[in-house]
Structure 1
């Protein structure tokens, strides 16, 4: 009977020790938390926020603290969202947007917003409508980078209380309805036709200017030639006048005789046999002129 009591006591002690060992193992496993690099753990104590565990090995109070939320801190992309907007020149457009963000303060994200993706999508839609309402259609098409920066900056300010960092916002496409597309195509064709007419008119104008310049140049050259010819004739006349002044009438007769000789040479230089009849007065003038020339030399 005594041995039975001893053995029973030993078994009781061993069982207690085993239970205690199991309790310690569970406590250690519960207290030690290994957080992956891509996550953060939100710890609650008695139902309230206690701490946020960063990646690595962390220790919490077992059976008192508990990991309530495991939050991924990887960058996320919202699904492409399409919303209507009206430009300042009253054109209806459909804008496709996409937003990239990541959670940097999980305690704010968990306790301040329920559906973070839906909240961001709604905020982006409001910002896009507001910004496009300030711009004309041509500005929306040509200044897309400006619109993207405006959306990203305003979104970053509005989601700051949610513990979110907006890494990138994109305007993927700006679509128009069929009626607007047809009107823009018609306007584009009209603009092309106008440019073609302007180019043709400018070409004709340039051709006319060049033709006028050519005619003016030709007239200037002709006037220049006439001026030179007139100057030459005036020079010859001045020489004759000087000769008449110096030698009197005989010098004039000599010049006339030379002209007549040149004319007879031209007549005699023709093809075939020709007979030239010279008046007696001309022969007498030749004689007088040559006598004058003999005296002058």
Structure 2
């Protein structure tokens, strides 16, 4: 076989090889151009070292060789490890505060190119905010206004991390711890406050009992006065009626009634057990005579 024949054979075989290489290159370029982004991630694409685009979940196309996926960012919610930092209250009490932060990345292009250590930056920011807010409150306010303190911490943290493309979903103030000396002092103060409240309650009860007793006496006096007034009014009314009768019928009608009462009294006295002894008034006969005289000549009224 001549050398020319061998060269022609190589050329014929090489054409098929080149076609195969071209086909493989096209397949590789297609695979590099198509990017499938998972639901929980976003891809940051760079072109010649500069930000090109951010790929959302699903099928995306890029220019192969020219564009490249520089960062794969998870958009799932993250939780920072529980952080503990010291803080001093407005009344100079040292407390240890435990906090926890939940966040997620919503703008990967900001997170990638504006901050290097996201977790460290958030932790430092939270520590500064917590110390600043607790420094404005006394210890009792920190214990009683924990929800308001948590809301304030979250509000300030949101305004800071917005430039980093981060959304703070929750910021929790987990616990406020005190040293043993402060805890013992607070317990002593609490016991003293409870004793004071008990004494105040007892004193108020005694005061109320005295007030109720005085009110009862006053009420009884008022009722007795009302009864006396009613009795006096009745007697006055009866006296007035008698006076009107005397005025209308004259003195003789009054004497007639008096005489009848004397006769009735003597009759009852005679019917009693001690009737063996009878005491008669000196003017008894005159009273009988007056009564009989009036009975004989009664007036129409």
Shared fold (TM-score, shorter chain, > 0.5): yes
Deviations 1:60-102 (A, max 9, x none): 3333332221111111111121222222233333222111111
How many residues are matched?
295
Question: Does the 8 Å CA contact 2:89/2:137 hold for their aligned counterparts?
Answer: yes
SS at match of 1:183: helix
Cα distance in 2 for partners of 1:144, 1:199 equals 30
Partner of 2:207: 205
Q: CA deviation at 1:253?
A: 6.1
Q: Secondary structure at the match of 2:228?
A: helix
Equivalent-residue separation in structure 2 for 1:123 and 1:269 (angstroms): 114
How far residue 126 of structure 1 moved from its aligned partner, in angstroms, is: 0.8
CA distance in 2, matches of 1:243, 1:273: 36
In the alignment, the residues of structure 2 paired with residue 192 and residue 69 of structure 1 have an alpha-carbon distance, to the nearest angstrom, of 61
Pair 1:253–1:61, CA change in 2 (3 A) = closer
How big is the shift at 1:236? Answer: 5.6
Aligned match of 1:24? 26
Partner residue in 1 for 2:148: 146
- Superposition deviation, residue 254 in structure 1: 5.4
Q: What does the per-residue CA deviation read over 1:250-292, in whole Å, with 9 as the maximum and x for residues that have no partner?
A: 777656655555655665676x554332135153353244235
* Cα displacement (A) at 1:212: 2.3
Give the TM-score of the pair, scaled to structure 1.
0.82
* Structure 2: gaps of 5 or more residues: none
> Counterpart of 2:277?
276
User: Taking structure 2 as the reference length, what is the TM-score of the superposition?
Assistant: 0.81
Tell me the residue number matched to 2:187: 185
Contact 2:91 2:139 survives alignment (8 Å) = yes
Rounded Cα–Cα distance in structure 2 between residues aligned with 1:222 and 1:116:
86
Give distance in 2, aligned partners of 1:231 and 1:101. Answer: 88
Counterpart CA distance in 1 for 2:107 and 2:237 is 106
Aligned with 1:17: secondary structure? helix
Q: In structure 2, do the counterparts of structure 1 residues 155 and 224 end up closer, same or farther at CA, with 3 Å as the change threshold?
A: closer
- Residue matched to 1:99: 101
- For 1:191 and 1:287, locate their aligned partners in 2 and report how far apart those are by CA, in whole Å: 89
1:100 to 1:214, Cα distance in 2 relative to 1, 3 A:
same
1:213 is displaced (CA, Å) by 2.6
The answer on whether the counterparts of 1:40 and 1:70 sit within 8 Å (CA) in structure 2 is yes
- Residues 79/113 of structure 1: CA separation in 2 closer, same or farther (3 Å cut): same
Match of 2:111 in 1: 109
What is the root-mean-square deviation in Å for CA atoms of aligned residues?
3.2
Structure 1: unaligned runs, 5 residues or longer: none
In structure 2, distance between residues paired with 1:39 and 1:280: 130
- Structure-1 separation of matches of 2:61 and 2:232: 118
Q: After superposing the two structures, state which structure 1 stretch, 253-262 or 275-284, moved more.
A: 253-262
Q: What is the alpha-carbon distance in structure 2 between the residues aligned to residue 266 and residue 125 of structure 1? A: 108
